[in-house]
Amino acid sequence: MRVAHCILILLSVTRQLSSAKYSSHLNEEVSNSGQSQTTRTLFQDEEKKGFLSIPQDDPDPASRARRLSYRAPFWEFVPYASIDPGLANLTMAAPGGTLGDASLASQSAAIGGQLLVSRAVGMNALEGPINATCLAISASGECLNTLDSYLPLYDSLAPQYQPAAYRFYDSDYAFARERITSSPAFITRVNSVGDIPFTQADVTGYDTITGGVSLSSLVAQGRLFTVDYYPLYQAGVLEASPDAFLEAPTAFFFVNGPIPKRRKWGKPRKNDPALMPLAIKYNVQQTYVVSPQDPHPDWFLAKAVFNCLDRDVNAIYHFVLHTVIANVAIAAQKTLASEHPLYPPIQHAANLNFGIISSGVLLLLAPFGVFDTYLSLSGASIQSLLFPYLMERFDWQSTNIKDNLQARGVMDIPGFLYRDDGETISDALRTYTRKYLAGSYRKRGSVQGDPELQNFLGALTNSSDTIAFLNGFPTGAQVRNLKDVSELLAQILWISGVEHHALNSFRILNFDLVYPSHPGKILSPLPASTGTLTDDQVQQNFISGSGLSGSSLSTAQAASTANFVPDFKTMDIGNPLAFFLGTQATAFAFYPLLQKPNRLTNIYLSDTEDKPTAKAALALRQRLRVISKRIVEREAATTGTFKYLLLDPTNLPFYLYI
């Protein structure tokens, strides 16, 4: 009876509302019936153009200028030191001004809340099962004494939270595969034998590893590659976190057969050559070379030592992308009206980015924050040394995937899935931005005749404004036509929605902190030579810390004496299981809790009906779905190593999450 009564009331309210709506429509029609022909044409033109317009085509330039004047003067480029004194060395800009400050505050609160959610979900998803499994293995909680200890712990997680790489921790193929999938930023071709800091005789089992192909032949055939962290040590920008025994190794990889002609989307064939590790050379604590033919404990340790620094440097490199997009977003606020076709996509790309930088990055780098506690580089040294160092060397042109891979000489590495997926998505974005902008920039000269665009470019390319300036960003003279402006916008979307995700986010949980091959930090000094360690010692003394009982220094003491190679023998990380759980919770903080509308496949950039804009977005979505299908099919057929799904478009956000 009560339900029926409610339905009756609801029906009655609905009827009243529809009748009000109907009468208001009637009123509109009555008043519109007296419209002049000119007004009707204006409406038709508006419908054709939709919400977006470049300033010279705006039917009401005075209103546009007035609205921009309500916003633009209240945004400023300010130094990061104004947010945190520890960031005084950073050479890019934080948001300032009344509106910039307000945006920073609200975004920081949003990201802070999101991190709390990730933390709560992570506790549930990771810590509960791992704790329970550990206690089932050992009543006293000692479940981390062997290199394979982590398998049952990761096995106990729900499948969606199991890291992609955890079963392959001992695989050399997987170690090399990371350089061309999840950690692709720094591998480069070796172009001269003179650049190799060792001889064949220094590499144990050289002929067994390479099939007897000499180093000079590998170089001549373009089959030798390196990731070299020694130059960063030489530049003085690496400092160990408390309790960490950091190294700055140089790793070498080779393709184990003639490089085949590149096949786009070709299924891998059985006898395809593959990238494999050749050797890792230590440079700081020790100077010897370790190879896959050295005793297993030494080779395993060398890979873990390499991964520790590789992860941290990649993380800081990716932070630079956040700060670059912050500069772009501040410039947009200062120069572009909301109706400008570049304004909505830049807002999308920079979604929450100020908050991610201020809450996320600062939280990670703070004294006794995540880097100090769980990772290899100290937060303070990152703030003052490595972050500014990488920022100063940033070049906008290097963010173009094709130019970047070409410059590093790595275009032809077989199985380079970051290249395969990234280039296809990059092409799709270029097609999309061209379609999206074609209606706005349809007239000859309209790009260089767009004063807002010119001001936007000018704000980022004026070298006298050192913190706003982005090295290599195209100038007004370089952005001449629809193609140029489309490529610029595609590059902003690429960095924010694709490249960022290739380097961060999903990657951290799936690869970067997956024990035992990617430990947060190395906990003992490296041995003076190979052949002195057992696997269990590597695990207990260097990776889990379970063999380091009775250590003498507290974290606070260690922090005060932290340098590159601490002057003590063993460190105290507290309870090894708690430490391990802390690293995993750190990884989970980046877990993408993305909802559907935040995805690149759902990008749509107009606040009103705009057919060309919607059509361009739909075409992008369809193309990305085709790419996704190919990637998913390829990885479904991948067995015996980890699956690479970081650039599956259905995983991609449209902004730098997180």
**Chain contacts with Fe ion (rule: CB under 5 A):** 504
Nearer to Fe ion, 223 or 500 (CB): 500
Residues 6 or more apart whose CB falls under 8 angstroms from that of 140 comprise none
Nearer to Fe ion, 491 or 504 (CB): 504
Residues 6 or more apart whose CB falls under 8 angstroms from that of 485 comprise 342, 437, 441, 447, 453, 479
Nearer to Fe ion, 111 or 558 (CB): 111
Q: Residue 301 has which token pair?
A: 């340790």
Q: Supply the minimum distance, in Å, between the C-beta of residue 150 and Fe ion.
A: 26
Q: Residue 561 has which token pair?
A: 């004496």
Q: Supply the minimum distance, in Å, between the C-beta of residue 470 and Fe ion.
A: 18
Q: Supply the minimum distance, in Å, between the C-beta of residue 441 and Fe ion.
A: 31
Q: Supply the minimum distance, in Å, between the C-beta of residue 658 and Fe ion.
A: 6
Residue 242's closest CA among 144, 397, 367, 400?
Answer: 367
Nearer to Fe ion, 307 or 504 (CB): 504
Percent of residues in the chain assigned helix, strand, coil, to nearest 5: 55, 5, 40
User: What burial letters (b/e) apply to 501-538, b meaning 16+ CB within 10 Å?
Assistant: bbbbbbbbbbbbbbbbbbbbbbbbbbbeebeebebebb
Residues 6 or more apart whose CB falls under 8 angstroms from that of 49 comprise 57, 439, 610
Q: Supply the minimum distance, in Å, between the C-beta of residue 498 and Fe ion.
A: 13
Q: Which residue's C-beta sits nearest to Fe ion?
A: 504
Residues 6 or more apart whose CB falls under 8 angstroms from that of 61 comprise 55
Give CA–CA dist 357/87, Å, rounded.
11
Give CA–CA dist 235/227, Å, rounded.
16
Nearer to Fe ion, 49 or 501 (CB): 501
Q: Supply the minimum distance, in Å, between the C-beta of residue 500 and Fe ion.
A: 6
Nearer to Fe ion, 504 or 510 (CB): 504
Q: Supply the minimum distance, in Å, between the C-beta of residue 323 and Fe ion.
A: 11
Give CA–CA dist 641/634, Å, rounded.
13
Q: Supply the minimum distance, in Å, between the C-beta of residue 224 and Fe ion.
A: 32
Nearer to Fe ion, 196 or 652 (CB): 652
Q: Supply the minimum distance, in Å, between the C-beta of residue 383 and Fe ion.
A: 16
Nearer to Fe ion, 223 or 501 (CB): 501
Q: Supply the minimum distance, in Å, between the C-beta of residue 320 and Fe ion.
A: 10
Per DSSP, the chain holds a count of helices (H) and strands (E) of 27, 7
User: What burial letters (b/e) apply to 147-160, b meaning 16+ CB within 10 Å?
Assistant: bebbeebbebbeee
Q: Supply the minimum distance, in Å, between the C-beta of residue 456 and Fe ion.
A: 24
Give CA–CA dist 306/282, Å, rounded.
9
Give CA–CA dist 248/308, Å, rounded.
10
Nearer to Fe ion, 168 or 317 (CB): 317
Nearer to Fe ion, 226 or 504 (CB): 504
Nearer to Fe ion, 314 or 504 (CB): 504
Q: Residue 445 has which token pair?
A: 């000269």
Query: In sequence order, what are the beta bridge partners of 605?
Result: none
Nearer to Fe ion, 504 or 530 (CB): 504
Using alpha carbons, list the distances in angstroms from residue 86 to 76, 179, 233, 387, 544: 20, 32, 21, 11, 31
Omega of the bond leading into 467 within 30 degrees of 0 (cis): no
Residues 6 or more apart whose CB falls under 8 angstroms from that of 526 comprise 245, 247, 282, 285, 286, 301, 305
Residue 648's closest CA among 627, 619, 617, 622?
Answer: 627
Nearer to Fe ion, 240 or 495 (CB): 495
Q: Supply the minimum distance, in Å, between the C-beta of residue 293 and Fe ion.
A: 38
Q: Are 381 and 237 in contact (CB under 8 A)?
A: yes
Q: Residue 599 has which token pair?
A: 């995805």
Residues 6 or more apart whose CB falls under 8 angstroms from that of 405 comprise 411, 416, 419
Q: Supply the minimum distance, in Å, between the C-beta of residue 357 and Fe ion.
A: 9
